[in-house]
Amino acid sequence: MRHWYRRGLLAWLLWPLSVVFRFLVALRRLLYWLRVLPSAHPGVPVIVVGNLVAGGSGKTPLVIWIAEHLKKKGWTPAIVSRGYGGAGGPPRAATIASEAADVGDEPIVLARRSGCPVWIGADRIAVIAALREAHRDVDVVLLDDGLQHYRLRRDLEIAVVDARGLGNGFLLPAGPLREPASRLRSVDAVVSHGAPVKGYAMRLVGSELHRMTNAAERRPASAFAGQNVHAVAGIGDPNRFFLHLGRLGVKALPHPFPDHHRYDPRELDFGEGALVLMTEKDAVKLRHAARDNWWVLPVSAELDPAFGNWLTERLDEFRRRSKAA
């Protein structure tokens, strides 16, 4: 109770700064809307998948799902990411052979799971230009995060809200929001990842783990029940991973880390014979130090069928407009 009191008190103390931040956010968006600040469109449909809360919310599995859906519908998608946690630098491709310290963790997961070209860089307009030069068949771009990157004009905005909801409703630094909650009314679709908001439902599924040193060796989660198991997660909401394991019947000792945490392998030394379970996002940062007792749990997004129908209809509109032009 005392902990929650202190957090609430701190939020109210920071509230004046949050009001200033809210004003600056609104002003910036207005200046882009009035075209006072320059923006550009890359010439192919752009679908932004983002969120209002600082940190992860399940965007990456959703981007992978959308990429697979687009390919089934005859599109040739590519994915653009800022490459958070990487080394920065010019626009470049992220592949399954890339190092997380160079391109970030999420782009490697996206490249591995989507089979699409994945490019990174802070200037998304420049990234898309370089990507299209290298992959001339690409006809739609998915932006992983970037809801607030207004320099890039977009055709569809999809906001993801997870089980944490919108926190205390305050903007940074008094709360977790990068934009006001009212921003959800202006996006094209809201995806509810277990959130108390109205939107297309999404959940993450996955119950089979593979050994870090040999991905061909797989075990169902039930094989870890009753064993000395530790779980690590350096994602936006580590508790989501721990709860997922619990639902699979795995009682693991949880070890939460900050989002995009750069691990020292010694942080995962929990005693001889202790099994360590982790997310894909964590695994790409630790593969250089892989050990036999480390196991990885891949997850995939499952979406409300109505979301797929909505997305298909909007994509068909893009096709009709391009043919009529």
Beta bridge partners of 277: 231, 295
Residue 244 has a pLDDT of: 96
The model's pTM is: 0.94
Pairing status of strand 156-162 against strand 77-81: unpaired
Quick check: is 22 in a domain? no
pLDDT in tens, the chain (325 residues): 444 445 677 788 899 999 999 999 999 999 999 999 999 999 999 999 999 998 778 899 999 999 999 999 999 999 999 998 888 899 999 999 999 999 999 999 999 999 999 999 999 999 999 999 999 999 999 999 999 999 999 999 999 999 989 999 999 999 999 999 999 999 999 999 999 899 999 999 999 999 999 999 999 999 999 899 999 999 989 999 999 999 999 999 999 999 999 999 999 999 887 999 999 999 999 999 999 999 999 999 999 999 999 999 999 998 888 777 6
Q: Specify whether 100 is located in the same domain as 235.
A: no
Residue owning tokens 């394991």: 245
Residues 64 and 187 in one domain: yes
Evaluate whether residue 15 is within a structural domain. Answer: no
247 & 104 share domain: no
Helix, strand, or coil (residue 101): helix
Residues 175 and 231 in one domain: no
Q: Residue 106: inside a domain, yes or no?
A: yes
Query: Hey, what's the torsion of the CAs at 286, 206, 118, 97, to 10 degrees?
Result: 30
Residue-number span of the structural domain to which 101 is assigned: 45-203+302-320
Distance CA 88, CA 110 (A): 18
Residues 282 and 150 in one domain: no
Residues 55, 149 contacting (CB under 8 angstroms): no
* 178 touches 161 (CB < 8 A): no
Q: What percent of the chain has pLDDT over 90?
A: 87
Q: Are 187 and 108 contained in the same domain?
A: yes
Q: Is residue 123 domain-shared with residue 53, that is, in the same domain?
A: yes
Specify the CATH number for the domain of residue 59.
3.40.50
What three-state secondary structure class fits 298? Answer: coil
**Structural domains of the chain, count:** 2
Would residue 134 count as lying in a domain?
A: yes
Cα–Cα distance for residue pair 254/238, rounded to 1 Å: 9
Alpha-carbon distance of 299 to 207, in angstroms, equals: 8
Same domain, 172 and 211: no
pLDDT at 325: 66
Together in a domain, 53 and 161: yes
Question: CA nearest 192: which of 204, 182, 206?
Answer: 204
